[in-house]
Chains A and B, each alone.
Chain A
Amino acid sequence: MSPKNRSPIVEMRSIKKCFLDTVALKSVNFTLYEGEICALLGENGAGKTTLMNVLFGYYACDDGEIYVNGKKVTFSAPRDAIAKGIGMVHQHFALVPSISVLENIVVGIKESKNLFLDMKEAKHKLLDLEKMYGLFVDPDVKVETLSIGEQQKVEILKALYRGAKILILDEPTAVLAPLETKDLFATLRKLTENGNSVIFISHKLYEVMEISDRIVVLRNGEIVAERHKTETNMRELASLMVGGEIDLGKRKNVGFKLINDEIKDVLRVNDLWVMGNRGIEAVKGVTFSVKEGEILGIAGVSGNGQKELAECLFGIRLPEKGEVYLDGLSLAFGNPFFTVMNGMGRIPEDRIDIGLMMDLTVEDNIILEMHAFRPLKNGILLNYDAAHRVSDELIQKFSIKTAGRDALTKTLSGGNLQKIILARVIYRNPRLIVAAQPTRGLDVGAIDFIHDQLITTSKNNNSGILLISEDLDEVFSLSDRIAVMYEGKFMGIVDIENADRETIGLWMSGVKESCA
């Protein structure tokens, strides 16, 4: 079945979308054909979800047109999209745990004539749908008793109940166990057999190759390629997804550090297993070390366990098992103070949520990790004179743009917030810095500054740096070695000289091939 003998059901023409000063979508043309499964493939931030949120009416596009069944439409809210037969299942489900499946499905539907919902009829309609698509969920059980896979079925049923003919699934397999994934794929096939069309957002190459008819690759807000499944292979898709060759001459980290066994480990992780929030293992037995003066980059699409790994090293998440040695010292898990005391500098991914106290002053945040040590701590007293001195020094040295040390932290921009964290980390001459997504969401100037600081610290202070980033350019630009994390495991570790983007791209998508 080639797409040529199918008619387009959705056409998005030259869609543009900006968020403040970042361009999320630059003139994207996307077509969905009737009865097909189309995969949207791309890295984090490539624009997949944004594009679909535009189609679903969550975001209004800045420019461009959308046609459904050949007719031009404008959506100002998801309900307009639903009225045109579009349904979307998000990564995070929008279900009420304490009420039944049926109630979740009918909630929010306006029955124009009746004041009361006819639950009997609704149940009948739901059971018919379940039979038709093989999506069996008991309508009367409470959602909180369902597994994640079953909850996803409820979400799909919810969309179908509202008359969806076009179904958008945002990373649907990210939360599923392998068997549930198989189930989902069977459902998707049944959906298309019944004339529905599916858009499947993913970064997992195996799955994309297995389920989709057509693959659209996005990178940096643009569609870089469209391939029919039979015309392509995983290797090609991986390199399309991550972009062309990297010019190693442009690296910010000039010169490579030769890694050998003689150099001391500042961090050694042995067979570490960490549970994620969803009750499934997020980190599945990783083993690696970071050497003195080395930058080890961990690449990977977010949600593959990097966050849990970082949180475990930070001391705010307990592992299931495994050992971590910080500069030869066995790390006390679940004790952030231990890591602070023993020379780990920590840059958390959620800087606002766990890194900073936004309602307090800049000074209060700068001294957070040093207030328990001399000269700031003086018996039970806090030496505010010393605190003022340190704050002023760091505000100047890191050129933090603020009205002063007494300014409220929430008045600072994102880049300057990150500089506060960086300043308090580097001030203590850490043996190791664990930097999780250190430049996400920042402007170019701040990114450069933070990169320079990390490189300088690794060179001058001989600190080891563990850089966890989903920005592949950043990883290539800074790291001495690159590791790739996929579904909680390391796909491999490679020296920067031997690393090529295609292989890293394949690793990020779960395809294991040795570096050529």
Chain B
Amino acid sequence: MDEWGKRIMRMILAKRPPLPYWAQILIPFIAIVVSLCLSSIPIIYAKGDLFKSYFYLFYGALGTRYNFLETCVKSSPLIFTGLAVAFAFRAKFWNIGAEGQLLAGAIVATWIGINVPEMPKFAALALIISAGFVAGGLWALIPALLKTKLKVDDVVSSLLLNYVMWHIMGALLFGPLQQPGSSWPRSPSISELAKYPMLLARSRFHLGIVMAVVAIAIIWFINEKTVLGYRIKSIGANLKAAGFGGIPTTSVIIKTAMISGGLAALAGVGEVCAIHYHLLMDVSPGYGYSGIIIAMLGRLHPLGVGLSAFFFSMIIVGAQTMSRMTGVPVYIADVIQGMSLLIMLVAQLFTEYKIKVISK
């Protein structure tokens, strides 16, 4: 066995000098192209026509006005969860709990949406949106406090709280929030006052999409122009050095977590108030988890998050058309999503390291 060990070459990872800025920007795009190429393998395996499949994937996402606007509709929750994760990750607060925070927002939006008294529509919407934001923020406060006060790992606590919130939602939907007379876990419909306005005719293009774009701008502003943004960046780069330099690390991490949770919650508010108009167990098909991939693919930059959320939304919406037209299962969308994350992570590794072959 030793002989073998001596004969084969050894490969090690060696640090490389930092890549130029344009290369850093290019990487997510390369990752997307490579993952689309690699996704050909399962498409061929599913006996799909490759050219036709990709054509319908993009046609389904962008080909008609309606398809394009549907892709925008789908991007809205993904932008919010992606921003939520990216904002927290910049401070190295590993918020894997966007899913639970989303559900918290959805639950609160539903509850207020059902019970909202007569008032001007803008006031009702402002109430629901801010209450949803606060609900998600408070749910994210739990892992933040556990991390800063008790040094509990934030990955584990924020992840597990997703299941807690899912079961809370289940209990509510089989209990106080259940539609009277129904045996299904669904809530009554929300009041007309609570519904997001539709902004474009013959589509589901709603207020939440504009809010998501505004959120991108606000997060960019916080990151680039404010003291808080500088502090978050510093904490993410070196927690000890940031603390040594006088930054109140605990309070910054708590603020970061609450803003992150609030953003994720807005995804849930939008799903209830613009898509379903009631709460159901399937309110989120894992938007919170997709947000993690989107944040990584967007390199934690708000604009990058916007782009990668739109790309993801294209894949999800387009995969349905592709599936209808070619018979390739819609699950191909999940394959492409997962693949793009893995390739992104590998590509990121190679921006900092190169493989060095050592022959003994």
Contacts and interface: CB of A to CB of B under 8 A. Distances in A.
Interface of A: 314, 316, 336-337, 339-341, 346, 348, 353-360, 364, 367-369, 371-372, 377, 380-382, 384, 408, 410-411
A377 B17 CA distance: 33
A346 B229 CA distance: 24
A341 B247 CA distance: 11
B360 to A, nearest CB: 11
Nearest to A338: B246
9 contacts: A336-B245, A339-B246, A357-B241, A357-B242, A372-B246, A380-B227, A381-B226, A382-B227, A384-B225
Of the four ranges (under 10, 10 to 19, 20 to 34, 35 or more), the interface on chain B belongs to 20 to 34
A360 B234 contact: yes
B244 A348 contact: yes
Given A316-B243, A337-B248, A355-B244, A360 B233 contact: yes
B244 A336 contact: yes
Nearest to A353: B240
Contacts of A367: 230
Interface of B: 17-18, 225-231, 233-234, 237-238, 240-248
Contacts of A364: 230, 233-234, 237
A369 B242 CA distance: 9
- Secondary structure of the A side of the interface? mixed
A369 B243 CA distance: 10
A381 B227 contact: yes
Which of B238, B242, B244 is most buried by chain A, counting CB atoms within 10 A of its CB? B244
A73 to B, nearest CB: 20
Contact of B237 (A340, A353, A360): A360
Nearest to A376: B227
A367 B17 CA distance: 25
Which of B17, B228, B240, B245 has most A Cβ within 10 Å?
Answer: B245
Nearest to A411: B18
A336 B227 contact: no
Contacts of A353: 240-241
Contacts of A340: 245-246
A371 B230 contact: yes
B234 A377 contact: no
B238 A356 contact: yes
Contacts of A368: 234, 241-242, 245-247
A500 B83 CA distance: 64
A357 B232 CA distance: 12
B240 A354 contact: yes
Nearest to A348: B244
Contact of A382 (B230, B237, B241, B248): B230
B246 A369 contact: yes
A354 B241 contact: yes
A368 B248 CA distance: 12
Contacts of A355: 241, 244
A382 B225 contact: yes
Given A364-B230, A371-B230, A382-B226, A359 B237 contact: yes
